[in-house]
Amino acid sequence: MSDTLATPDARTLVEIYRRATLIKQNDERFRSVIKSGKLVMPYYSPRGQEIIPAATSVHLGDGDTICTIYRGIHDMLAKGVPPKKLWAELAGKITGTSKGKGGPMHVTDPSHGVMVTTGIVGSSMPIANGLALAAQVRGTKAVSIAYFGDGASNIGAFHESLNLASIWKLPVVFICQNNRYGEHTKYALSTAVARISDRATSYSMPGVHVDGNDPVAMWAAAGNAIERARAGDGPTLIEAMTYRFHGHIFGDADAYMDKAEKKAAMEADPVPALRARLIAQGHASEADLAAMEAAIESEIDEALQFALDSPYPELAELRRDVYAEELPE
Ligand SMILES: Cc1ncc(C[n+]2csc(CCOP(=O)(O)OP(=O)(O)O)c2C)c(N)n1
Ligand SMILES: [Mg+2]
């Protein structure tokens, strides 16, 4: 591994902040809208995990793909799914990414490289392998990212996928977002190793343990792994340490979460921390960032209104897109 990347330039850091802020503000709005009863849906908040996809996605191009999980709203927004299409999908409307037929747990938007969002723990990885294999066979130089949680690293598909990706040198990066909980269970009660990144050794690939809330470290780790995959040198496992600010699902009383640990994580909120850093280092002014935040707020206002105003799919949509309507010659 070349490990050539060390520090992002000012423009890139500001862009990471923009993506992280979009995710944070979007999450805050989702939670308040669900609370108000305007929209009803199961919602898995990614709040606290913003920096991981924000710092990863700045290395990705239009041809690169991601596979993510029910909590992956942050991964989708960072990859470029327009908030309007996302809100409409979550609301079950015809204008959504999957015509409202995927809903919150199955957002798919190939036009922005979001190839699958899955509720089956561990299943983002074999699908990312398939996309990587297609890129390898076609010689497109595209890279595929599999995002998944710490709990998913105990599922058979994790081990099978890492093994196959290593043997075939697939252009895939496995990014485990270790938010310290799998559903209602603390990390140490379900996972035998202290570091998931150590599991990479079993599959002869680099295993990188990184503070996923540190934008510079995360940017470098993701960038090096993506460069390695694109160069044909094979997969990397990244374990990005983070913290889930809320319970597993919206409405979960989160009584099983350690209160002091949670308080400390929220006080170290990575999004305002990056904001302060940008200003302290002279990369952006207070006024620049305030204007950026206001523009994001308006974009979310519009997305919400668009989702509320859009119609539900007609009954005729029920079986459409499920089976091929015309078989290719
Ligand atoms: C194959 C499978 N087993 C169990 C479940 C139930 N389940 C849903 S979420 C979850 C926890 C996953 O935790 P993690 O991988 O850490 O992701 P996080 O929710 O923390 O982002 C479990 C066990 C499932 N959806 N799929
Ligand atoms: Mg987890």
Dist. CA 82 → ligand 2 center (Å): 26
Can you spell out the DSSP letters for 187-252?
Answer: HHHH-SSS-GGGGGGGGTS-EEEEETT-HHHHHHHHHHHHHHHHTT---EEEEEE----S-SSTT-
- Atom from ligand 1 closest to the CA of residue 152: 15
pLDDT at 58: 98
Q: CB–CB of 153/181 below 8 Å?
A: no
Query: Does 79 score more than 90 pLDDT?
Result: yes
pLDDT at 318: 87
pLDDT at 3: 66
pLDDT at 22: 98
- Atom from ligand 1 closest to the CA of residue 150: 16
What is the tens place of the pLDDT at every residue in 168-182? 999 999 999 999 999
3-state SS assignment for residue 262? helix
Closest residue to atom 22 of ligand 1, CA basis: 183
Residues near 272 by beta carbon (within 8 Å), at least 6 away in sequence: none
Q: How confident is the model at residue 1 (pLDDT cuts 50, 70, 90)?
A: very low
Closest residue to atom 17 of ligand 1, CA basis: 149
Dist. CA 277 → ligand 1 center (Å): 34
Neighbour-count burial of 141, counting CB atoms closer than 10 A to its CB (0-12 exposed, 13-18 middle, 19+ buried): middle
Query: Percentage of residues in the chain with pLDDT exceeding 70?
Result: 98
Average pLDDT value for residue range 28-54: 96
**HSE-up (13 A, CA, CB side) for residue 80:** 17
Residue length of the chain: 329
Strand partners, 177: 149, 240
3-state SS assignment for residue 68? strand
pLDDT at 322: 82
- The larger pLDDT score, comparing residue 220 to residue 254, is at 220
Dist. CA 308 → ligand 1 center (Å): 30
Q: How confident is the model at residue 218 (pLDDT cuts 50, 70, 90)?
A: very high
pLDDT at 102: 92
Query: Does 157 score more than 50 pLDDT?
Result: yes
Average pLDDT value for residue range 145-158: 98
Q: Any idea which of 217-221, 272-276, 314-318 has the lowest mean pLDDT?
A: 314-318
Quote the pTM value.
0.97
Residues with CB under 6 A from ligand 1: 71, 119-122, 148-152, 179, 181-183, 244, 248
Q: How remote is the C-alpha of 282 from its chain's centroid?
A: 29
pLDDT at 329: 66
- Atom from ligand 1 closest to the CA of residue 153: 15
Number of CB atoms found within 10 A of residue 122's CB: 22
pLDDT at 324: 74
For residue 147, give the H/E element and its range.
Answer: strand 144-149
Average pLDDT value for residue range 273-296: 98
